[in-house]
A and B are shown apart, each in its own frame.
Chain A
Amino acid sequence: MPRLALILCVAVLLSACGGGSAAGSSFEPAKPGVLTVATAFLPAPGFWMGQPATKGFEAEFASALAKKLGLDRVQVVQVPFGQIIQGKLHGADLALSQLTPTEEREHSVDFSTPYLSAPPGVLARIGVDAADTHDLRDLQWVVSRLSTLTPVVMDRIRPTKTPIEVDDRTEALEVLRSGSANALMLDLPVALGLARDEPGLFHVLGQLDGDADIAAALPNGSDNREIVDSTIRALQADGTVDGLFSRWFGTSADDVPLILTEQRR
């Protein structure tokens, strides 16, 4: 009798192994067996690389997400950044496009739990140096109208020269490459990716204190948000995210010097 009870218990335990997803939620993909991911910038150094774009932090993060969610593969669709933040994901399950959650954007999309910390990072041309706010202030900045980091440059750095204003990140990088400007504020992982991609041209001067993050965007009211959140936390806990970060950005964010600026408001 005790043996029978033991066998029953083991059977119960083994059959319970069947459920692979987090307790209390499940994932419903737009296409069966496929995780459809929208992204804006292809290629995006460090995040989406290769042809097709299967390498880079977000590309491999998408694969890890799909695997953890029990899906067979990832399909990538390119969607303009402006449309992603307006909630137009073109049928994708989610968007991975170095997106920083903001209150305004949350009206159009649902953000997942963050998968990367993204304090402001200063990308500068090689040869340009700055150790403190005073030095940063004297640089020639380029800012993008769509970026959430433009107010950081204007309010916390307060440049002495009027920054060059462009429409988006791609144009800002062109200005920086041309030498018309010598500093650009980006999310730190994005800056690290670009510096690693073009080491002869760019380097990361430092990071500013900030608690911004990078998260996935899901269609407003998506039922998949809970399971995506749980899966992201699982990938953070088992070291997948850290592993991808060091593989694609080559350094830990903690190793980038912190430049103290006026207290954040």
Chain B
Amino acid sequence: MTLYTIEAPSGPVFEFFILFAVILFGPIIFTRFRLPGLIGLMLGGFVIGAHGLGWIGAGNHTVPELGHLGLLYLMFVAGLELDLRLLRDYKRAAVALGLLAFAIPVAGALLAGWAMGWSLSATFLLGALCSSHTLITYPRLREAGLGGSPAIASAVGATVLTDTLALIVLALVAGTETGSGSPALIVGEIALGFAVLIVVGLIVLPRAVDAAFRLWGADRVARYLLIIVALLFMSVLAEVFGIEAIVGAFFAGLALNRLVPNEGPSMERVEFFGAAVFVPVFVVSIGLLLDPSVMFTGETLGLAAVICGVAISGKAIACWLAGTLLGFSRPERVGMFVLTVPQAAATLAVTLIGFEIGLFSTSVVNAVLVLIVVSIVLSAVLAEKVIDWIPTKLEETRPLGGSVLVLTRSGGPSDAAVRAAMLLSRPDGGYSNVLITRTEDQPRLDRAAIRDIEERICRHGFDGHVRTEVSGLPDALAKELRAGGPSLVVVDDPGFDGAAGRVPLLVVNGSATRLIVDAEDGVADEVARRLARRL
């Protein structure tokens, strides 16, 4: 038997195999050592890359191009996940912190860049990367019950402002570096581009996507593809005006923020594909740039020390100042720091673009990778301290429309009930679910019947789960309330006469509604007023 056809593996199939093996095993191995999975992906990228085992060569185009799509996806999700309600509710504190958390690191970067003799463009880009941040530790703090803390909520709200400003700086720097024509013309083009992105992102795109969701929303694949098309449309639109595509992707995320609620099924799919494919591929593609022969040199480590110093001290000063101005306690200020110091998504994006347009050398990229690792580890360690330091674990105030349950009998919800649920949940960035109850003697709803109901209610913009339960309506309601799920229940049964509880019940009867809630008069009146305003 001859074995002469057996060769060392190579080619696209082998490269994809290696890439996805890293995506699978990198985070698994690193989280076992209590290190962030992100670092596992980056180091995995290094191992398989040209500076490591060389399985993915320096001339490979596939992984970097896929990684570029992942970068767009990452910035899109960053915009999509932002809790705009917190920006609205803690406007003053969020704006103060947002401006300081942007301005102080930028000022530090300008001084550092000047001292190192960098060009003005590279210096401003350093400012943009140091000023942006990613809410990596927020899930941990929210899980510990600190989501309702005004300091934490302000830091989350401030992220919208900080990252937007950082991306504006990126757009200006990249535009002037890569555009042709006079600087005034380029700045004018970028300003026009931002105006178009804002108008399209705030007005045109949400309406167009909402209309498309109503038309095709019951088809989950179509719904997901619509989101991707919207993301790429905004990215292309940004590029048309000489603005980096990631800025458009971020605006696309903000544009769809209310239409794709954080806890809804569409978001689950967006996060699933992001976590499984797009974002890891991007992080691995960054890891391909990691070069130990560059990283472990005095020059790069010195650069890393400067960049870490600027970014970390800039955020610390900003949080301290903002905390003092806003009257937050010391642990709360540290809490704000824990949220604003991690550098990941926007930092990686800005760094990669700086590298691609030739403003940053490999040394800078490797120094930034050190910053990312240091800032993530620092914030993860401090987050645990903050959880201990803030003694009163404040209950997060749930917005009225945060999680709306439509409770209905076996025929499925009425259009009026679904419409009411949508009107109540969207302003809070919330989501709705439908629970259909039936008694044992009523016929079972098969898949086709549920599908018909989904198609009908999706025409009202519904994006949630439809469940059925063999139970009386009052029993099902009691069970849901005990489980602590909904923030508001829309009861689609005009004859319902249940007891009032702390969770408001809105009984729908065609266009008329009736509120049942157990609260002090003032509170009940306020809830009634808010509901009336939205309906």
A interface residues, Cβ below 8 angstroms from B: 9, 12-13, 15-25, 101, 103, 111, 114, 117, 211-213, 226-227, 229-239, 263-265
Within 8 Å by CB of A234, from B116, B303, B357, lies B357
> How far is it, in angstroms, between the C-alpha of A37 and the C-alpha of B417 when the chains are bound?
75
Alpha-carbon distance between A101 and B240 when the two chains are bound, in angstroms: 34
Residue contact A16 to B113, C-beta cutoff 8 Å: yes
Interface centre among B59, B118, B122 (most CB of A within 10 A): B59
- Name the A residues within 8 Å of B364 (CB-CB): 23-24
Cβ-defined contact, A265 with B120, below 8 A: no
Known A-B contacts: A211-B61, A227-B361. Give 16 more (CB < 8 A). A12-B110, A12-B111, A19-B116, A23-B113, A23-B122, A23-B361, A24-B361, A24-B367, A117-B61, A212-B59, A226-B362, A233-B355, A237-B356, A238-B177, A238-B179, A265-B10
CB–CB A23/B59 < 8 A = no
23 A-B pairs with CB atoms under 8 Å apart are: A13-B110, A16-B123, A19-B117, A22-B119, A22-B122, A22-B358, A22-B359, A23-B122, A23-B359, A23-B360, A24-B303, A24-B367, A25-B361, A25-B363, A101-B59, A226-B294, A226-B362, A229-B362, A230-B361, A233-B356, A235-B358, A237-B357, A239-B178
Name the B residues within 8 Å of A265 (CB-CB): 7, 10-11
Question: Which A residues are CB-close (under 8 A) to B10?
Answer: 265
B439 at the interface (CB under 8 A from A): no
Contact B178 A238 (CB under 8 A): yes
Task: Establish whether residues B117 and A18, one from each chain, have CB atoms under 8 Å apart when the complex forms.
Answer: yes
Chain B proximity of A155: nearest CB distance (Å): 11
- Check A237 against B362 for contact (C-beta < 8 Å): no
Report A141 CB to chain B, min CB distance, Å.
23
Chain B residues with Cβ below 8 Å from A25 are 361, 363
Bound Cα distance from A22 to B361, whole angstroms: 6
Chain A residues within an 8 Å CB radius of B110: 9, 12-13, 16
Q: Which of A16, A24, A234, A239 contacts B120 (CB 8 A)?
A: A16
Interchain CB contact (< 8 A) of A233 among B58, B126, B357: B357
Asked if A264 meets B12 with Cβ closer than 8 Å, knowing A23-B118, A23-B361, A230-B360, the reply is: yes
- B361 touching A226, Cβ below 8 Å: yes
Q: What's the minimum C-beta distance from B130 to chain A, rounded to whole angstroms? A: 13
A19: chain B residues at CB < 8 Å are 116-119, 122
Whole-angstrom CA separation of A114 from B363 in the bound complex = 18
What are the residues of chain A within 8 A of B329 when measuring CB–CB? none
- Check B114–A16 contact: CB distance below 8 A: yes
Report A-chain residues with C-beta under 8 Å of the C-beta of B174: 237
The distance in angstroms between the C-alpha atoms of A212 and B59, with both chains bound, is: 7
Alpha-carbon separation in the docked complex, A142 to B113 (Å): 55
Closest 9 CB pairs of A and B: A234-B358, A23-B122, A233-B358, A237-B357, A24-B361, A24-B363, A16-B114, A25-B361, A19-B117
Q: What's the least CB distance linking B397 to chain A, in Å?
A: 39
Establish whether residues B59 and A114, one from each chain, have CB atoms under 8 Å apart when the complex forms: yes
List chain B residues, Cβ under 8 A from A9.
Answer: 110
Which residues of chain A are within 8 angstroms of B7 by Cβ–Cβ distance? 265
B2 within 8 A of A: no
B182 interfacial by beta-carbon distance below 8 Å: no
Q: Enumerate chain B residues within 8 angstroms of A16, measured Cβ to Cβ.
A: 110, 113-114, 118-120, 123
**Residues B395-409 near A (CB distance < 8 A):** none
- The verdict on B511 contacting chain A, using a C-beta distance below 8 Å, is no
Bound-state Cα–Cα, A229 to B357, Å: 10
CB of B60 within 8 Å of the partner chain: yes
Complex interface: chain A residues within 8 A of B60 (CB) = 211
Residues in B whose Cβ lies below 8 Å from that of A117: 61
| In the assembled complex, B180 has its CB within 8 A of some CB on chain A | yes
CB < 8 Å neighbour of B363 from A103, A226, A234: A226
A23 to B119, CA, bound (A): 7
B371 CB to nearest A CB, Å: 13
A226–B361 CA distance with the chains assembled, in angstroms? 6
Whole-angstrom distance between the Cβ of A258 and the nearest chain B Cβ = 14
